[in-house]
Amino acid sequence: MTRRTIDGANTANDERLQDALVRTSYAVVNIVSKVAAQHELSLTLLRVLGILRDRTPAMSELAEYLGIDRSSATGLVDRAVARGFVRKISDEQDRRSIRVAPTDQGQILAKSCSEEVRLELEPRIARLSPARQDQLARLLEALDGVPASE
């Protein structure tokens, strides 16, 4: 039965879309978590390495990207420094601020994990034609509000 909300929206389609998004997010998180575990990384540390692929954020920015408080980000970064994955560098504009950058080892690990995730996702993505893959990427980018890096 199709229900409509007060504004006329089709709730059956809304529920179908929501269910599909949730199922897909669970599948992707499972893949990413599996790859992280194979490298003895937490999911959050793997996210840090992904964030550092194309930026060198201040500690407060990193905390914001991760959705955690600054003290938690500091502890996470300190543990990553101890493992040799990241380094802290002084901010050129604000000497009181610390930025976080990947080490060579961290970059290699991030690339390896990214490739492993890609290989795990590939069979699912291959079910779609190249045109549908492009369409899906555009739709997901629109939901996220951030274009994927190419």
Whose CA is closest to 116, among 46, 42, 44, 32? 32
Residue 97 pLDDT greater than 90, yes or no = no
Length of the chain, please?
150
Residue 91 pLDDT greater than 90, yes or no = no
pLDDT band at 109 (very low <50, low <70, confident <90, very high): very high
Residue 150 pLDDT greater than 50, yes or no = no
* All residues at 6 or more sequence positions from 147 whose CB lies less than 8 Å from its CB, including other chains: 141
Q: What percent of the chain has pLDDT over 70?
A: 90
pLDDT band at 10 (very low <50, low <70, confident <90, very high): low
Q: Which one is predicted more confidently, 3 or 24? A: 24
Q: Are 149 and 51 in contact (CB under 8 A)?
A: no
Residue 3 pLDDT greater than 70, yes or no = no
Average pLDDT over the chain reads 90
Q: Are 130 and 137 in contact (CB under 8 A)?
A: no
- pLDDT at position 144 is 81
The pTM assigned to this predicted structure is 0.79
Q: Which two tokens stand for residue 148?
A: 């994927």
Q: What percent of the chain has pLDDT over 90?
A: 79
Residue 85 pLDDT greater than 60, yes or no = yes
Which element (helix H / strand E) includes 105? helix 104-125
